[in-house]
Structure 1
Amino acid sequence: MRAFIFPGQSSQKVGMGAELAASSIAARDVFDEVDDTLRQHLSVLMREGPEDRLTLTENAQPAIMANAIATLRVLEHDFGVKLLEHANCVAGHSLGEYTALASVGAFGLADTALLLKLRGWSMQAAVPLGEGTMAVLLGADVEQAKALAEAAAQGEVCEVANDNDPSQVVISGHTGAIERAVALTKEHGIKRGMILNVSAPFHSSLMAPAAKRMAGALEETPPGALMLPLYANVTAAAVTDPAQITALLVEQITGRVRWRESVLAMRADGVESFVELGGKVVGPMVSRTDRDAQMTSLVTMKDLEAFAKEIA
Structure 2
Amino acid sequence: MRAFIFPGQGSQAVGMGAALAAASPAAREVFQEVDDALGEKLSRLMAEGPEDQLQLTANAQPAIMANAIAVLRVLEKEGGIRLAEKADFVAGHSLGEYTALCAAGALDLATTARLLRLRGQAMQAAVPVGQGAMAALLGADLAKAQAIADAAAQGEICTVANDNDPSQVVISGARAAIERAVEIAKDHGAKRALLLPVSAPFHCPLMQPAADAMAEALAAVAIQAPLVPVYANVTAAPVSDPDTIRALLVEQVTGMVRWRESVLAMFDAGVTDFVELGGKVLGGMVKRIAPDAVATSVVSMDDIEALVKAL
Place the TM-score, normalised by the shorter chain, in its bin.
over 0.9
Q: How does 1:136-285 map to 2 (within 5 A)?
A: 136-285=136-285
Q: Secondary structure at the match of 1:160?
A: strand
Distance in 1 between the 2:23 and 2:80 partners?
A: 15
Q: Secondary structure at the match of 1:78?
A: helix
Deviations 1:85-143 (A, max 9, x none): 11001000000000000011110000000000000000000000000010000000000
Distance in 2 between the 1:203 and 1:61 partners?
A: 15
The answer to whether the Cα contact below 8 Å between 1:233 and 1:259 also exists between their aligned partners in 2 is yes
| Deviation of 1:226 (Å) | 1.0
Distance in 1 between the 2:251 and 2:310 partners?
A: 38
| Deviation of 1:281 (Å) | 1.1
Deviations 1:135-163 (A, max 9, x none): 00000000000000000001111000000
Partner of 2:103: 103
| Deviation of 1:232 (Å) | 0.4
Partner of 1:53: 53
Distance in 2 between the 1:45 and 1:203 partners?
A: 26
**Given residue 290 of structure 1, which amino acid in structure 2 is its aligned partner?**
A
Unaligned runs of 5+ in 1: none
**Given residue 240 of structure 1, which amino acid in structure 2 is its aligned partner?**
S
Q: Secondary structure at the match of 1:308?
A: helix
Partner of 2:5: 5
Distance in 1 between the 2:225 and 2:306 partners?
A: 31
Partner of 1:24: 24
Q: Secondary structure at the match of 1:155?
A: coil
The reply on whether 1:287 has 2:287 as its aligned counterpart is yes
Partner of 1:305: 305
**Given residue 188 of structure 2, which amino acid in structure 1 is its aligned partner?**
H
Q: Secondary structure at the match of 2:101?
A: helix
Distance in 2 between the 1:261 and 1:222 partners?
A: 29
Distance in 2 between the 1:186 and 1:227 partners?
A: 45
Partner of 2:41: 41
**Identity across the alignment (%):** 67
Unaligned runs of 5+ in 2: none
Distance in 2 between the 1:136 and 1:33 partners?
A: 35
**Given residue 190 of structure 2, which amino acid in structure 1 is its aligned partner?**
I
**Given residue 170 of structure 2, which amino acid in structure 1 is its aligned partner?**
V
The answer to whether the Cα contact below 8 Å between 1:165 and 1:288 also exists between their aligned partners in 2 is yes
The answer to whether the Cα contact below 8 Å between 1:68 and 1:277 also exists between their aligned partners in 2 is yes
Distance in 2 between the 1:32 and 1:310 partners?
A: 29
Structure 1 residue ranges, 4+ long, deviating more than 3 angstroms after superposition: none
Q: How does 1:128-143 map to 2 (within 5 A)?
A: 128-143=128-143
Distance in 2 between the 1:51 and 1:309 partners?
A: 35
**Given residue 309 of structure 2, which amino acid in structure 1 is its aligned partner?**
K
Distance in 2 between the 1:264 and 1:37 partners?
A: 36
Distance in 2 between the 1:61 and 1:159 partners?
A: 22
Distance in 1 between the 2:310 and 2:232 partners?
A: 29
Partner of 2:77: 77
Q: Secondary structure at the match of 1:202?
A: coil
| Deviation of 1:282 (Å) | 1.1
Deviations 1:221-242 (A, max 9, x none): 1421111000000000011111
**Given residue 297 of structure 1, which amino acid in structure 2 is its aligned partner?**
S
TM-score of the aligned structures, taking structure 2 as reference length: 0.99
**Given residue 92 of structure 1, which amino acid in structure 2 is its aligned partner?**
G
CA RMSD in angstroms comes to: 0.6
Deviations 1:194-221 (A, max 9, x none): 0000000000000000000000000001
Distance in 2 between the 1:191 and 1:185 partners?
A: 8
Partner of 1:121: 121
Q: Secondary structure at the match of 1:223?
A: coil
The answer to whether the Cα contact below 8 Å between 1:42 and 1:59 also exists between their aligned partners in 2 is yes
The answer to whether the Cα contact below 8 Å between 1:222 and 1:246 also exists between their aligned partners in 2 is no
Q: Secondary structure at the match of 2:208?
A: helix
